[in-house]
A and B are shown apart, each in its own frame.
Chain A
Amino acid sequence: MQDLVAYAIKEAEAQGADEAEAYGASTAESEVFVENNDIKQAKTQQLASMGIRVILNGSLGFYSMNRLTKDSIKNAVSMAIKIARASPKDRYNSLPGSSKKVPTLRGVYDKAAESFGASDAAVIAAEMLESAKSYDSRVSVDGANFSAARGTHILANSRGTKLAEKLSTFSWTIMGMAIENGDVSSFDFQSGVSHSVKGIDVRETAREFAETVIGSLGPRKIESFRGEMLLTPSAANELVQEVISHSINSDAVQKKSSHFAQKLGKKVSTELLTIEDDGTNIEGLAASSFDREGVAHRRNIVIEKGVLKRFLYNTYTARKAGVRTTGNAGGSTGSPPSVSTSNFIVKEGKSNLHTLVSEMKKGILVSRFSGNVNPINGDFSGVVKGGKLVEGGTIRSAVKEVMVAGNVFEALKNLSGISKERKVIFDSILPYMRFDNISFTGG
């Protein structure tokens, strides 16, 4: 692969590109799927792909493919150049300067992954299923998977950057419901991730899933009210993370679709909220030494005690804004670099979950949010899944079909609690988050 990436750069220069970048990835993956309370299938695959970006007279061309021979690379380069010739010029198109000194991030590759095969994945998937089922016989696992992947990502460009890094990732999900005499609970989804074999803990994920679905059996209808909303890390991921990730993205700022565009240095939340983006935090799925353009990942404080500190940039948007990239070029080999969060991390709070609940007068603990969130204006409207009514500091009962609507930016001004406990959800690390003055509509 390293040779082919170098060949792509040489070929692009020979065909007339002013600048060129090739990003390659090869992965070996074993994955086992669970469906309807039983092991369904095992899957193994070898994937290799490359994305070639060329800049010609300020215009950009991009072509990606997964047939990696010299001939197909040569063809891909000429297609990328053809696209560049047909595309308008943009003076901000550019590659980052040479990044020969990217510090190596430890903890993202486990040698033990090399001997971890499909049969190991099968054993762990079975263990996860068994853990959920043995928690309570009413638990029904609709689907689950366990995936073990190891591979290399490689980046080279015409400015002399040559980077390669091995990564190993174990990830798993479990979803389903609880069923009791025709009463079907809300659907729940839980996940886990680790870069090392030792970090695999499917039992805890299965337990949390089972506990949530059993807890949402026998829901009661409630009347509409305005009160507190306590989001689990999963619900915070669905509701809050998406909106903030969009708003701190320099691409959205430049396209005038970020609510935070004019708010640098201003308060966007209560003081409880501190958010950082950190591609070097090895707990998160997105951890790696360098970003999609070969720039070193780093820790960026985005919101500190409620004040907006910075936006996230790749080379293109940084150049447009006259600042330096924050190492947030994202995307796979199938796309030119975008701007994206790496690991989105909300700093833990001072209270534990128990305290957050005990302080509530009347509100709902939201396990999952199912609905629409508009990342541009922050409006959300949807259904509470696995909701529980909290009254006088105590969890009372599961609730049925409650709709919740509001605005995330308004809600951040009413953020009244953040838990000490946090969960890793793929590339987010999130606590429980409590908001005041939210509108719930009973069915």
Chain B
Amino acid sequence: MIDRLLSLLSFSQGASYVEARYQSRIMTEINYINGDLDKIRIVEHAGCGIRTLVAGCWGFSSTSDMSTSALRSSLEQAILAARVIARSKKNKVKGLADSKMARGHFTLKANGKLSDVDIEQKIKVAREAEKIARKHSAVIKTASCTYREILDHKLIVNTDGAEVEIHDSKPEFSVVAVAKKSGESATAHEGIGITGGWNDLFRTKSTLDYGTLAAERAAKLVEAKHAKGERATVILDPGMVGLLSHEAIGHTVEADFVLSGSIAKDKIGTKVASDLVTLVDSGCSELADNAAGTIIVDDEGVMAGRTAIIEDGVLKSFLHNRESAMIFETSPTGNARAFQYDDDPLIRMRNTFIEPRSDKLDEMIKETRHGYLVKGARNGQADANGEFMFGAEEAYLVENGEIKALMRGASISGNAFEVLRSVDMVGNRFQYDIGTGYCGKYQPAKVDGGGPHIRCSAVVGGLQ
């Protein structure tokens, strides 16, 4: 197959750059709800995406037909697509920044090949975890469990010399429990999403642990009061730190966002956060294994290593593809990612996190007079002006150095950089914890994030 793609590149008349990406994806999804198998499906999605740069204009075309003639005609379409925007495009692409193009075969580490585990076993873990959550106690009214795996085989070639074959395996497992009591209801999630194999997925917790933890939490939350809205000291757990790093900072430093005027625009080299903050985005699984956003090589054939966005409080780098790196006269950072073959590569994050320091969680709590310990990252959003908002499943009130009542349904908001400037303690234990999530930006992307616990100041929202 790779030979067919390589020979296709020689037909790139008139194009200054051609890239062909074959991707065969097999996604399996199993979902149990309330004792019933709610959904089971396998979806195969395979084909080739071709991107061309013609006279400074991008064109893209895709086909699921991998015959030589279909590929040839798809390439022609991609060249034509680039030509149709030539008249209206004002700023032509000046070129693509040089980078050592990756070559070779990359298989992401997986202990226990997912394709060796039969479908019966995958159904069984989902059934059992859902059941243990549902049967946990009388207040648990509904429970569900989802097992999902994405197996990718990718080939990436381009006219600048990339020649890459990648095998990737990303499973995820999550349980949701809903508790109801005297007219109130509360939802709790417990899950994991990784790059790795079957044994990696269930290394730290068993299938049943996930069910039990979700149910226990939902049962506790249904008794909890809503947090009241106020600006307060907050201690964020690793998942929340991951979400803050991704949503509130990460998006503002994606070079395409920067070019359209994000708040980070003129801030390279300036102090944007507390000295304690070093914030990184990496295509490798730094500091801990199996991070879900691990890619090794990006979809433009660039090696996807560690990029320090903020180092000791100073903004150091944006996240680039080859086009934006050319504009900013820097090196690409390996952030060009496409979700499937028929998506074109965009600047996306990978594993985004704050590096650990020396503080212990106990001390952070002890040194907090009034605040919240916030756990359980839920979905979030951020604006180009740095304003962000995201949800937290649990918020524990901290009074005079001690954890008090559990509050629920809280949202955390603020201005990203203001919040990072307020960081005064950074924990010593690192963890990835948002691997079940997908980031949305025209197309989904599997990402991860994490960090140690950190202490900062933000607006905690709730009912008045």
Whether B43 contacts A118 by the Cβ 8 Å rule is no
Whether B411 contacts A376 by the Cβ 8 Å rule is no
Set A38, A122, A185, A405: member contacting B462, Cβ < 8 A? A405
B22 CB to closest chain A CB (Å) equals: 12
B90 part of interface (Cβ distance < 8 Å): yes
Question: Binary interface profile of A, 73-93, with partner B (CB < 8 Å = 1, else 0)?
Answer: 000100100110011101000
A403 CB to closest chain B CB (Å) equals: 4
B72 part of interface (Cβ distance < 8 Å): no
Whether B261 contacts A385 by the Cβ 8 Å rule is no
Whether B384 contacts A441 by the Cβ 8 Å rule is no
B134 CB to closest chain A CB (Å) equals: 11
- Please judge, given known A-B contacts A42-B84, A226-B464, whether A63 and B41 are in contact too, CB under 8 Å: yes
Whether A142 contacts B260 by the Cβ 8 Å rule is yes
> Which residues of B sit under 8 angstroms from A9, Cβ to Cβ?
none
Residue of B nearest to A89 (CB): B37
> Which residues of A sit under 8 angstroms from B91, Cβ to Cβ?
38
Residue of B nearest to A400 (CB): B387
A43 part of interface (Cβ distance < 8 Å): yes
Set A40, A140, A381, A439: member contacting B409, Cβ < 8 A? A381
> Which residues of B sit under 8 angstroms from A338, Cβ to Cβ?
39
Whether B256 contacts A36 by the Cβ 8 Å rule is yes
> Which residues of A sit under 8 angstroms from B119, Cβ to Cβ?
82-83, 86
B367 part of interface (Cβ distance < 8 Å): no
Set B42, B90, B381, B410: member contacting A62, Cβ < 8 A? B42
> Which residues of B sit under 8 angstroms from A30, Cβ to Cβ?
81
Question: Binary interface profile of B, 20-40, with partner A (CB < 8 Å = 1, else 0)?
Answer: 000000000000011011111
| A381 to B344 CA separation, bound complex (whole angstroms) | 34
A414 part of interface (Cβ distance < 8 Å): no
Residues of B55-94 whose CB lies within 8 A of A: 57-64, 77-78, 80-82, 84-85, 87-91
B46 part of interface (Cβ distance < 8 Å): yes
- Please judge, given known A-B contacts A64-B43, A256-B34, whether A177 and B261 are in contact too, CB under 8 Å: yes
Whether B81 contacts A383 by the Cβ 8 Å rule is no
A132 CB to closest chain B CB (Å) equals: 13
| A441 to B260 CA separation, bound complex (whole angstroms) | 30
Q: Chain A interface mostly helix, strand, loop or mixed?
A: strand
| A335 to B89 CA separation, bound complex (whole angstroms) | 38
Residue of B nearest to A378 (CB): B185
B contacts with A, residue count (CB < 8 A):
77
B159 CB to closest chain A CB (Å) equals: 17
Q: Which of A117, A142, A177, A372 has the most CB of B within 10 A?
A: A372
Set B84, B383, B390, B464: member contacting A187, Cβ < 8 A? B383
B378 part of interface (Cβ distance < 8 Å): yes
A140 CB to closest chain B CB (Å) equals: 5
- Please judge, given known A-B contacts A64-B42, A65-B44, A66-B46, whether A224 and B229 are in contact too, CB under 8 Å: yes
| A66 to B178 CA separation, bound complex (whole angstroms) | 37
| A336 to B389 CA separation, bound complex (whole angstroms) | 34
- Please judge, given known A-B contacts A35-B260, A41-B59, A48-B64, whether A118 and B461 are in contact too, CB under 8 Å: no
Residue of B nearest to A382 (CB): B389
> Which residues of A sit under 8 angstroms from B149, Cβ to Cβ?
none
A56 part of interface (Cβ distance < 8 Å): no
> Which residues of A sit under 8 angstroms from B187, Cβ to Cβ?
374, 376-377
Question: Binary interface profile of A, 269-289, with partner B (CB < 8 Å = 1, else 0)?
Answer: 000000000000000000000
| A5 to B33 CA separation, bound complex (whole angstroms) | 31
B385 part of interface (Cβ distance < 8 Å): yes
B123 part of interface (Cβ distance < 8 Å): yes
Whether A44 contacts B461 by the Cβ 8 Å rule is no
Set A126, A145, A403: member contacting B411, Cβ < 8 A? A403
Residues of A109-133 whose CB lies within 8 A of B: 117-119, 121-123, 125-126
Q: List 10 A-B contacts (CB under 8 A).
A: A32-B85, A40-B89, A43-B81, A44-B61, A44-B80, A86-B123, A117-B84, A176-B260, A257-B142, A383-B389
Going nearest first, the 4 A-B pairs with the smallest beta carbon separation are A126-B88, A441-B229, A41-B58, A184-B385
Chain A residues with a Cβ under 8 A of chain B: 30, 32, 35-49, 60-68, 76, 79, 82-83, 86-88, 90, 117-119, 121-123, 125-126, 140-143, 145, 176-177, 179, 184-187, 224, 226, 255-257, 334-336, 338, 370-372, 374, 376-377, 379, 381-383, 385, 401, 403, 405-406, 439, 441, 443
